Structure 1
């Protein structure tokens, strides 16, 4: 790279400075047309001498632009000190703005000759625009004013660097923040702690249940209590009942996890070995989630020789669409089998079709009633049954499985107006066997689900002996759902409290845990 001064130096080294003598002789080998001046470095930003703009034609002779003096360089000058300073200042200013004001640039600010490009009243640093409106001082210190007076003022006091807001498309993004809970407090990451919140589904599930969440809840202390209840000779059944019958399903799962974490043992296996009989059966059911328990009950109902159809009917006709979806997933996960295929393999005929239809979990859950549809479908059911010789079971299947409980109740009322029989009476007249039981379960559950389960409990205990499987299944699966309503329906229909009925048919720890789950005798 060549420079205007042969032998080295930067352009402008030969330029005299105002107010300074010229003690240096001219360069001996200066090229013609170049000025002779001192070799001292000029102050950055100092106004050049007017001698540069007069004299013979040459590099320093440029016509002055309108309204101002000429420039000391050509439109495309060679690389020189002033150009380097200008470029460095521009880069530093851009980098500072890009970083959002972080850091400072310790570099003098070059200024062009002539009047200040950013005049400010009373002197001072020119204002800089700030994102969002307003102005601010430059984000880096300025050079001190040169001697002899200048348009520059003293540098402003150091100010904190402004933070650039993160607008859409900005290069600078704020760090992610923890979610904020109502009230302005940040929520902690979800953990299996006593303070963990339950879902809205869980809160809805406990709305009419007799078994609700226990507060305060400490899974560590509960796990330790259960461990102590099973250590040594004998078992403290009361301590087990106090925990297992007074903790929600979510809390019991947390205890099981905490127990294995503390002791490296499976709580379910330990409880099974220490708790036998019907009492142990209740404890084992309580250790499962609702979906896994239903999947377990269905699996036991259809595996081996024969099928327990009443279990299939009870579960598939009373669970919500979401619950049925969870049951299908649990069944496949726990047994590596397809629920629908197992139902098909163990059932047949119209009953098989009814169970397969219910297992889809595709019932309307709307609470809106279409009276025109209710009247039309009541007529279709009447034509498919009482009006004709024989029965069109597929018509009953299509309507009873698809419609919401609210819509079915309206249809049943319209049916009673068309026919001298109720829907239940017509089903008993037109159907038989497991199909009849399945259709009746749908109708009764649609009319009044708590009353349906109250009837199931009453039949499990009336007369000689007790159907303990049905009693345990209904108590455990409904104690967190609607047991309060079931107790009300039981007393209204059978003139006795459910608790006293259970107390008369059971005994021992088995009786105690059942009564604890339903909230006592009264």
Structure 2
């Protein structure tokens, strides 16, 4: 396949940029896939094992299996990276010795450290290698596996008077994205009913939203959230950010394609109608799906140029050149944004995030801060986003559901977010959510270690 090195491609991303679950699909994994694959991306059986390339400084939960051996890539051409190793990972050290938010000197662009003892991540994949779609973002892709027992359990849970909600949780809580369409199809064939419609009739409130979000799968749920954010009077800008900020080009293209086929309008058109002025221009840049791929090298001269330009457009003058900042941050990869943020603070002794907060306001401020946080540390970004949905008077219920379901697609990422949350806020995330909501059923999306162990044994 043109554009890919013979040994494979960068590790597939799970929902939100974390490592994808292990693929049990394909000739080597057990059961095959059905459906079409996006052109230009490798088939799913080439995906790396679960937990690969975690980039995480947070300790793994006890009992959870460590990441597998990292996939190796061709080294960059000699001389591509200078001695200060822009984009290279920092030396590993036991968790607890690293001071969060203080990158090692002269290692701009280094990702958050992997768990202690994990093999080092190889950087400098050949430029031009495309980041593959996240798990569940290839249209028509589904696992060919017998879901008869699960379909019957769902029907039994909703048949007759009352609903066995615990049984629904047991079936749906740990189901990987590619098994969701197979379950729905099997349910329809065996019971001549729609699983989504039955769930909608049997449960209500935000528990209903949780279950339906899972049954839609990550791609269809993104599209549903975007429509929810844009329809009616006003715009739910936080939901727009939740879906669109920090997405890979492949995922963004899949989202736009399914949005248009679902609502018969382009996503660009609807966002343009609901936003205005410079915010509209910023979202136009995001929706263009033209970010640098993660395989693009982090070049120190480019990082320095971006840092200088960002400073010139913000702190160095009266009045902010907002579109200049937007153009840089919407076009760079996570690794490049990480390098830019670290280099900016090293050069000007002020964090880039604080500069954005002081120079921008409103939705544009929120969006740009999220871009920087995605690049700096997606795990901590997700932990902070969950707290933001619960902080203050009242709970932002729709956001909390969306964020909990989003991280639940990747159990390893969920564990890392829980560890990051405890590190930052000194409390247990599950306990925090249970105390904030009236629905203890939220716990199914933040799986306990015992249940995760049971789930991962299947892989």
Q: For 1:454, what is the secondary structure of its paired residue?
A: helix
- Aligned equivalents of 2:33, 2:353: Cα separation in 1: 49
| 2-structure distance, mates of 1:407, 1:202 | 24
Whole-Å Cα distance in 2 between the matches of residues 297 and 182 of structure 1? 35
Distance in 2 of aligned mates of 1:417 and 1:472: 37
Q: Kindly state the Cα deviation for residue 484 of structure 1 after the two structures are TM-superposed.
A: 2.3
The residue number in structure 2 matching 1:333 is 261
Partner of 1:300: 228
Q: Which residue of 2 aligns with 1:199?
A: 44
C-alpha displacement of 1:428: 1.6
* Aligned equivalents of 2:326, 2:234: Cα separation in 1: 24
Give CA deviations for 1:362-394 in whole Å, capped at 9, x if unaligned: 111235210111112111111111111111112
* In 2, Cα distance between equivalents of 1:191 and 1:216: 6
- After the TM superposition, list the runs of 4 or more consecutive aligned residues in structure 1 that deviate by more than 3 angstroms: 180-183, 187-192, 200-210, 215-218, 514-521
Of residues 335, 340, 345, the one that matches 1:411 is 340
Q: TM-score w.r.t. structure 1 length?
A: 0.59
More RCO (CA 8 Å, sep 6+): 2
2:384 to 430, 444, 455: 455
**Counterpart in the other structure of 2:358:** 429
Asked if 1 retains the 8 angstrom alpha-carbon contact of 2:434 and 2:440, the reply is no
The reply to whether residue 268 of structure 1 matches residue 196 of structure 2 is yes
List gaps (5 residues or longer) in structure 2.
1-25, 36-42, 55-59, 65-134, 137-142, 453-459
Q: 2:289 aligns with which of 347, 352, 361?
A: 361
8 Å contact kept, 2:230–2:236? yes
Counterparts of 1:509 and 1:429, CA distance in 2: 39
- Conserved in 1, the CA contact under 8 Å of 2:306 and 2:340? yes
The offset of 1:509, in angstroms, is 5.2
State the shift of 1:494 in Å: 0.7
Contact 1:364–1:404 (Cα < 8 Å) also in 2: yes
The CA distance in 2 between the partners of 1:295 and 1:517, in whole Å, is: 29
Does structure 2 retain, via aligned residues, the 8 Å contact 1:386–1:426? Answer: yes
Say if 1:324 and 1:361, in contact at 8 Å, map to a contact too: yes
- Provide the C-alpha distance between the structure 1 equivalents of 2:51 and 2:401, rounded to a whole number of angstroms: 19
Give the structure with higher Rg (CA): 1
Is contact 1:252–1:287 with CA below 8 Å preserved after alignment? Answer: yes
| C-alpha displacement of 1:462 | 2.6
User: Structure 1 residues 519, 496: closer, same or farther in 2, change over 3 A?
Assistant: farther
Which residue in the other structure is 1:392 paired with? 321
TM-aligned CA deviation for residue 420 of structure 1: 3.7
Kindly indicate whether the alpha-carbon contact (under 8 Å) linking 1:374 and 1:414 is maintained by their aligned counterparts in 2: yes
Residue 436 of structure 1: CA displacement? 1.1
What's 1:377 paired with?
306
**Distance change >3 Å, CA 219–CA 496, structure 1 → 2:** same
SS of 1:323's partner is: helix
Give CA deviations for 1:16-70 in whole Å, capped at 9, x if unaligned: xxxxxxxxxxxxxxxxxxxxxxxxxxxxxxxxxxxxxxxxxxxxxxxxxxxxxxx
Residue correspondence of structure 1 range 137-216 to structure 2 within 5 A: 199-200=44-45
Structure 1 residues 365 and 277: CA distance shift in structure 2, 3 A? same
Residues of 2 paired with 1:343 and 1:413: CA distance?
Answer: 32
Tell me the TM-score normalised to structure 2 length: 0.66
Q: Contact between 1:256 and 1:267, CA under 8 Å: does it hold in 2?
A: yes
Q: Which residue of 2 aligns with 1:234?
A: 162
For 2:331 and 2:450, the matched residues in 1 are separated by: 35
Residue 419 of structure 1: how far off its partner (Å): 2.3
For residues 197 and 203 of structure 2, what CA distance do their matches in structure 1 show? 10
Q: Matched residue of 2:244: which SS?
A: helix
**Number of residue pairs matched by the alignment:** 333
State the SS of the aligned residue for 1:288. helix
Q: Of residues 408, 429, 438 in structure 2, which corresponds to 1:479? A: 408
Q: Which runs of 5+ in 1 are unaligned?
A: 1-179, 193-197
Q: Name the CA shift for 1:191/1:307 in 2 (closer, same or farther; >3 Å).
A: closer
CA distances 1:59-89 after superposition (whole Å, capped 9, x unpaired): xxxxxxxxxxxxxxxxxxxxxxxxxxxxxxx
Of 253-262 and 478-487, deviating more is 478-487
Give the secondary-structure state (helix, strand or coil) at the position aligned to 1:499. helix
Q: Is the 8 A contact 2:306 2:328 kept in 1?
A: yes
Q: Which residue is equivalent to 1:148? A: none
Decide whether aligned partners of structure 1 residues 364 and 277 sit closer, same or farther in structure 2, where only a CA change above 3 A counts. same
CA distance in 2, matches of 1:223, 1:303: 33
User: Matches of 2:221 and 2:386 in 1, distance apart?
Assistant: 19
**SS of the counterpart of 1:486?**
helix
> Are residue 318 (structure 1) and residue 246 (structure 2) matched?
yes
Instruction: Evaluate the alpha carbon distance shift between residue 425 and residue 509 of structure 1 in structure 2; reply closer, same or farther with a 3 A threshold.
Output: closer
Deviations 1:144-175 (A, max 9, x none): xxxxxxxxxxxxxxxxxxxxxxxxxxxxxxxx
Check conservation: 1:316, 1:358, Cα contact below 8 A: yes
